[in-house]
């Protein structure tokens, strides 16, 4: 008779027993080895997910099974030092590390495609028509996108809703001249944030100003606002598509003798406290996005059906926004 104490962590034995098969069969299913009856496979997978079973890395490694290599690829253009990517990578590592995978940074070729592949790939900063998608699809490598593309596995924050929340907040405060500090709108995130902003203004019958491009970075935000001020653009609020740009915007306003939020309200996006302590911003749950990416890629590795997920975001009101004077 078995002890009643719940095992702290299920083993392949537990799975085999619960599914009524041998450990060998479970192993085959888990590794996608051919020659397992579909019904058996489904039964095993069901138990695996019910028990939240995760194979032990050490055991897997020791018994000759090679560690699966997961590659992640940051588009060369957007720079691999974007804080969001840094954070996302960190959580990706946390998610994959315990599960017996090896994570590696995939270098880019001169044409921007990954130089080499891995057993599974996470693509950062994806946009529709991203050439990396057909590239990977053609090679049969399971992959998951941080971003969006039809008929693929992807996960992203609800950028559109976030932008709406941010803009609505400013409108509610009486602002009508709201400048959008945007990133390159060929990227999905920048595009959706722009759309959300425009949507709210259209609903409110307020004319949108011509967006200014801050390239998602601090200096870009600074210079864009400085240029707008120099050009005499009138605005009482800024909605920046990233906290970094918001940070640059605040600095530029200060350098021009304008107070935040006294003269101009500023909202950011991401919620990275490093870039503006009292900044009103839209919080992304980066950890959850990363965890979801891990889950989706594992599904891909096991050949399960394609699906995607949108992670909610939330407006965090702090001290950088105020009622229009």
Partner DNA sequence: CTGAAAGCGCTTACAG
Residue from 17, 51, 56, 161 binding DNA (CB under 7 A): 56
Q: Is 6 in the site for DNA (CB under 7 A)?
A: no
- Strand pairing partners for 70? 103, 120
CB under 8 Å to 66, separation ≥6 — which residues?
none
DSSP H or E segment with residue 105: strand 101-105
> Nearest distance from residue 142's CB to DNA, in Å?
17
How many binding residues for a second copy (CB under 8 A)?
34
Q: Does 274 interact with a second copy (rule: CB under 8 A)?
A: yes
In the complex, what is the shortest distance from the CB of residue 306 to DNA, in angstroms, rounded to a whole number? 24
User: In the bound complex, what is the minimum distance in angstroms from residue 319's beta carbon to a second copy?
Assistant: 20
Q: In this chain, which of 51, 65, 76, 83 binds DNA, going by CB under 7 A?
A: 65
CB 169 within 8 A of CB 147: no
98 binds, among a second copy, DNA, none (CB under 5 to 8 A by kind): a second copy
Which DSSP letter does residue 270 get? B
Residue among 60 and 175 whose Cβ is closer to DNA: 60
Tokens of 107: 């270098």
Kindly write down the DSSP assignment for every residue of 105-135, as one continuous string.
Answer: EPPB-TTSSBSS--SEEEEEEE-TT-THHHH
Q: Which of 47, 48, 60, 121 binds DNA (CB under 7 A)?
A: 60
Question: What percent of the chain is helix, strand and coil (3-state, nearest 5)?
Answer: 40, 20, 40
Binding partner at 172 among a second copy, DNA, none, C-beta below 5 to 8 Å by kind: none
Do 293 and 262 meet the contact criterion of CB atoms below 8 Å apart? no
Helix (H) or strand (E) holding 180: strand 178-182
Q: How far is CA 194 from CA 180, 213, 222, 307, in A?
A: 7, 11, 19, 25
Touching a second copy, residues 62-121 (CB under 8 A): 62, 67, 79-81, 83, 86, 89-90, 93-94, 97-98, 100, 102-105
Q: Does 31 bind a second copy (CB under 8 A)?
A: no
Interface pick for a second copy out of 59, 207, 306, 317 (rule CB under 8 A): 59
Residues linked to residue 122 through DSSP beta bridges, in sequence order: 72, 144
Applying CB under 8 A, which residues contact a second copy?
56-59, 61-62, 67, 79-81, 83, 86, 89-90, 93-94, 97-98, 100, 102-105, 217-219, 222-223, 247-248, 251, 255, 272, 274
Where on the chain is the footprint of DNA (CB under 7 A)?
9, 11-13, 20-28, 30-31, 33-37, 39-41, 53-56, 59-60, 62-66
């Amino acid at each position: 008779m078995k002890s009643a104490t719940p095992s702290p962590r299920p083993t392949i034995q537990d799975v085999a027993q619960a599914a009524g098969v041998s450990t060998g069969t479970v192993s085959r299913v888990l590794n996608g080895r051919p020659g397992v009856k579909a019904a058996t496979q489904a039964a095993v997978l069901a138990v695996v997910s019910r028990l939240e079973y995760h194979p032990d890395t050490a055991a897997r490694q020791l018994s000759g099974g090679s560690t699966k290599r997961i590659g992640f690829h940051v588009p060369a253009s957007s720079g691999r030092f974007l804080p969001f990517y840094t954070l996302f990578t960190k959580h990706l590592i946390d998610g994959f590390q315990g599960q017996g995978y090896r994570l590696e940074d995939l270098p880019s070729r001169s044409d921007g495609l990954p130089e080499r592949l891995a057993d599974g790939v996470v693509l950062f900063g994806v946009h529709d028509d991203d050439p990396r998608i057909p590239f990977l699809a053609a090679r049969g490598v399971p992959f998951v996108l941080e971003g969006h593309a039809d008929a693929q596995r992807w996960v992203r924050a609800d950028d559109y809703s976030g932008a709406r929340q941010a803009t609505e907040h400013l409108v509610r405060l009486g602002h009508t001249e709201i400048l959008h500090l945007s990133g390159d709108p060929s990227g999905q995130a920048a595009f959706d944030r722009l759309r959300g902003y425009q949507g709210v203004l259209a609903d409110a019958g307020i004319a949108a100003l011509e967006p200014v491009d801050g390239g998602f970075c601090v200096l870009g935000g600074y210079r864009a606002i400085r240029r707008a001020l120099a050009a005499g653009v009138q605005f009482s609020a800024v909605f920046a598509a990233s906290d970094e740009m918001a940070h640059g915007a605040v600095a530029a306003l200060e350098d021009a003798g304008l107070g935040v939020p006294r003269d101009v309200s500023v909202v950011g996006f991401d919620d990275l406290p490093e870039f503006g302590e009292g900044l009103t911003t839209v919080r992304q749950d980066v950890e959850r996005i990363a965890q979801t990416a891990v889950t989706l890629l594992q599904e891909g590795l096991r050949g399960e059906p394609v699906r995607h997920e949108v992670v909610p975001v939330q407006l965090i009101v702090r001290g950088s926004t105020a009622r229009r004077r």
